[in-house]
């Protein structure tokens, strides 16, 4: 149930970000979100969720909690952050001269994304107030 809710929240936030990037004329972000955005945003969400809530706690989450509207609202916050971090990471990689098509086919891409997400997480968790406000724990 939690995986379905997370995937739905990721899809919604990717679509919203895509509309915003088109409205701003940000072609780079638009390409990033259209090409693999949903799956990579979901993977970034999974990393953030596990760091914030612990993988064990997520595994123990009761079905009625996982399917609740409150959990859905919380997952939307995680998805919004995941979209921002994913697009920022990919833009940095593209600015360093990488080609998007090559990156998306690379087996090393997820490792690069994971490392950069974990670095961002280490910085953000220095402020417990920010973490509590931005990413409420599930359950």
Q: For every one of its 139 residues, what pLDDT tens digit does the chain have, with 9 covering 90 and above?
A: 899 999 999 999 999 999 999 999 999 999 999 999 999 999 999 999 999 999 888 888 898 989 999 999 999 999 999 999 999 999 999 999 999 999 999 999 999 999 999 999 999 999 999 999 999 999 7
Phi, psi at residue 97, to the nearest 5°?
105, 0
CA 55 to mean position of chain CA atoms? 16
Cα-atom radius of gyration of the chain, to the nearest Å? Answer: 15
The model's pTM: 0.93
Q: Which of 48, 53, 50 is nearest to 119 (CA)?
A: 48
3 vs 44, 85, 92, 101, CA distance in Å? 13, 20, 28, 27
């Amino acid at each position: 149930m939690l995986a379905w809710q997370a995937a739905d929240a990721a899809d919604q936030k990717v679509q919203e970000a895509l509309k915003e990037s088109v409205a701003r004329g940000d072609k780079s972000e638009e390409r990033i979100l259209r090409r693999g955005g949903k799956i990579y945003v979901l993977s970034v969400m999974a990393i953030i969720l596990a760091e914030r809530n612990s993988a064990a706690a997520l595994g123990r989450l009761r079905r009625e909690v996982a399917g609740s509207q409150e959990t859905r609202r919380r997952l939307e916050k995680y998805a919004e952050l995941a979209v921002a971090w994913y697009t920022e990471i990919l833009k940095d990689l593209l600015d360093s001269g990488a080609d998007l098509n090559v990156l998306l086919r690379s087996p090393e891409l997820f490792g690069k994304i994971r490392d950069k997400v974990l670095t961002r997480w280490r910085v953000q968790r220095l402020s417990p107030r920010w973490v509590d406000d931005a990413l409420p724990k599930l359950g």
